Structure 1
Amino acid sequence: LMLGEAAAEGRGKPLSDLQAGPYDGRDAARPPGAIGFSVRRMGGVIGEHSVSFGSDSEIVTLTHTSLDRSLFAEGALKAAAWALNQPPGLYSMDDVLGLSGN
């Protein structure tokens, strides 16, 4: 959802205005400008996230694939180390990654 929110933000609109509902079949078209989501499960793949930008003549896709859960454990340890040096409060991943500007 965060990727969809970022795409909608780039268009200057909330995701709720652009998010397409489920569609039926390969030939079913989404409304122009809609942001669609799909889910696929595959054995051996721990996590995969893709963002595709499509037009009538091409599709550009950016994909991240995780094959080992140790990647997530490493991130959790880094987040915990960061939290040790913060005052009590409510934080987001943007804070942990230094993207919030705080």
Structure 2
Amino acid sequence: MTLTCDDVRMTTGNLIAKLRAHRAAEERLKQARRELDVEITRVVDSGEWQIIDVAEVTGWSRETIRAIVKRVQQERWAEADRKRSSTPPDQLGEL
């Protein structure tokens, strides 16, 4: 099948392939951003870097860095709570 739009022809196969490639790139970007956020949180929490230094290197505001750190910490706490609530009481000492 070929679609026509403003005298430009593109087979639907090309469109679908480009759309799939775009979606895959978006997923890779989301994963890379998640990994960066976790690393930012790690270096700030460990004291290796200060928030102001991370902000300078990334070009993001200190408020943005604080928000990233807070979000990642909250996600970790929520995950720990989920693990605790799903662990039988006799196994809590193993966490």
Same fold (TM over 0.5): no
> Structure 1 or 2: larger helix share?
2
TM-score range relative to shorter protein: under 0.3
Greater RCO between the two (CA within 8 Å, min separation 6)? Answer: 2
Query: Scaled by the length of structure 2, what TM-score is found?
Result: 0.27
